[in-house]
């Protein structure tokens, strides 16, 4: 692909695609006000970034909305770090998801909670545990939901 720029009707830049080197490229889309809307990194035209998130989405206020980590087109991240992180507009983490690459697909992993969602105050809203991509946990709750004050609301067992 060649470097390419597209524009809104008002003349503001809408998107640009450019090469970082022979194999790496990046596509950036913008809000009409010129702030970043989304950045996507590629390696050989496959969504990939080994140095950070491959996809970063932004709120109109410039804060990060979502970070998605992909390696060779699959959602995953090394060192058991979350592969998908979503934020509230104020910058507080909304939820985290851990994926791993198994059988040629990305699945929610089973090393710890695979999904943690937070209230805007930072307290955990719920935790979900997965086994090979299936919501379940042996002899322990697969879902734990909390009240905003941090007390347990309920536990759900799925075996």
Q: Is the Cα dihedral 117, 30, 35, 49 positive or negative?
A: positive
Give the pLDDT score at 109: 79
Coil vs helix vs strand at 26: strand
Percent of the chain having pLDDT more than 90? 75
Residue 38 to residue 7: CA distance in whole angstroms: 15
Tell me the pLDDT band of 101, cut-offs 50, 70 and 90: confident
How many residues can be counted in the chain? Answer: 159
Give the pLDDT score at 114: 94
Whether 110 shows a pLDDT value over 80: the answer reads no
pTM of the predicted model as reported, rounded to 2 decimal places? 0.90
- Selection from 35, 48, 113, 58 nearest residue 78 by Cα: 48
Give the pLDDT score at 3: 80
Whether 136 shows a pLDDT value over 70: the answer reads yes
150 sits in which H/E element = none
pLDDT, one tens digit per residue, over 12-54 is: 999 999 888 888 999 999 999 999 999 999 999 899 999 999 9
Average pLDDT for the chain = 92
Structure tokens, 59: 């709120």
pLDDT, one tens digit per residue, over 58-89 is: 999 999 999 999 999 999 998 889 999 999 99
Which ranges constitute the DSSP H helices of 12-158?
none
Q: Are 131 and 114 in contact (CB under 8 A)?
A: no
């Amino acid at each position: 692909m060649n470097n390419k720029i597209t524009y809104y009707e008002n003349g503001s830049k809408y998107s640009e695609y450019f090469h970082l080197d022979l194999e790496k490229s990046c596509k950036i889309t913008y809000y009409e006000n010129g702030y970043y809307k989304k950045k996507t990194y590629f390696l050989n035209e496959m969504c990939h970034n080994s140095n950070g998130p491959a996809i970063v989405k932004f709120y109109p206020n410039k804060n990060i909305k979502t970070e998605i980590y992909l390696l060779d087109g699959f959602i995953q991240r090394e060192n058991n770090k979350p592969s998908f992180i979503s934020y509230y507009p104020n910058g507080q983490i909304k939820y985290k998801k851990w994926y791993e690459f198994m059988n040629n697909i990305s699945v929610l992993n089973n090393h710890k909670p695979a999904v943690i969602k937070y209230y805007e105050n930072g307290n955990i809203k719920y935790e979900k545990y997965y086994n090979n991509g299936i919501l379940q946990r042996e002899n322990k709750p697969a879902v734990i939901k909390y009240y905003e004050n941090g007390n347990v609301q309920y536990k759900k067992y799925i075996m």
